[in-house]
Amino acid sequence: MKIKDMNVYKKIALLSALLCALTHYASGLTPWLEVKPSYFLFTNSVMRSIYHHGGVEIQGSASIPVWNYLDFYTSIGYRRVHGHALNTCENTTLTVLPCDIGLKPIINFCERFYYFFAIGPRFFYFRQHNTSPYVDCKITGGNVGLFANTGFNVELSHNLLLGIFGEYSYEKKAICPQKPNVYSNGSVQMGGIAVGISFGYAF
């Protein structure tokens, strides 16, 4: 009976020590919230021909630590680009709302500097507005794609973060026109490359 009691006490002591260690570990983890403006360019040649100037994209992201040097990453964004139809030159506008979830390894060096890499699926919704009478005035849709980004952050005073980043996105969707006698060549890759800066806060 005494041996069993000692085993119970040992287990309680072991669990208490483990709980204290986990509490101490969790207290050292720091969630990040960031605002990330960037300049976006298409990688698809047809999309570049239509929207050859690219456009501005802005994202709000959160990084939540789940393990040492590994965060859960999520973001939501807004992208709007203006262009002209290939043959008739009428105005066209494309708006995309991307939503990302993924994993984000982080490497800390020189105390206040961080290198990161994030990757995961992207859920996106798009809306295209056309002024041409030969194509649909509004085309909408959504799909699941992929994103990957990387960059550096520096922690300034008062837990403020400043960083630079680059991102690649794969957003492919089949376009099905509703107007008769309008030809569509099928799927189009409306993702691309974005480069920008980030402003954040470390809790």
Q: What are phi and psi of 66, to 5 degrees?
A: -120, -20
pLDDT digits (tens, 9 = 90+) for 18-44: 444 433 343 346 899 999 999 999 999
Closest CA to 122 of 143, 150, 93: 143
Which residues form the domain of 126? 31-202
Question: What CATH number should be reported for the domain holding residue 84?
Answer: 2.40.160.20
Residues 15 and 64 in one domain: no
Number of domains within the chain: 2
Residues 62 and 134 in one domain: yes
Residues 72 and 108 in one domain: yes
pTM: 0.79
Spell out the residues 6+ positions from residue 27 whose beta carbon is closer than 8 angstroms to its own.
none
Residues 5 and 70 in one domain: no
In whole angstroms, how far apart are CA 131 and each of 80, 84, 91, 92, 201? Answer: 16, 9, 6, 6, 42
Residues 63 and 98 in one domain: yes
Residues 4 and 85 in one domain: no
Residues 35 and 23 in one domain: no
Question: pLDDT per position in the chain (203 positions), as tens?
Answer: 445 455 655 655 554 554 444 333 433 468 999 999 999 999 999 899 989 889 999 999 999 999 888 999 999 999 999 998 777 778 899 999 999 999 999 999 888 899 999 999 999 999 998 876 667 788 899 999 999 999 999 999 888 999 999 999 999 987 765 554 444 556 889 999 999 999 999 98
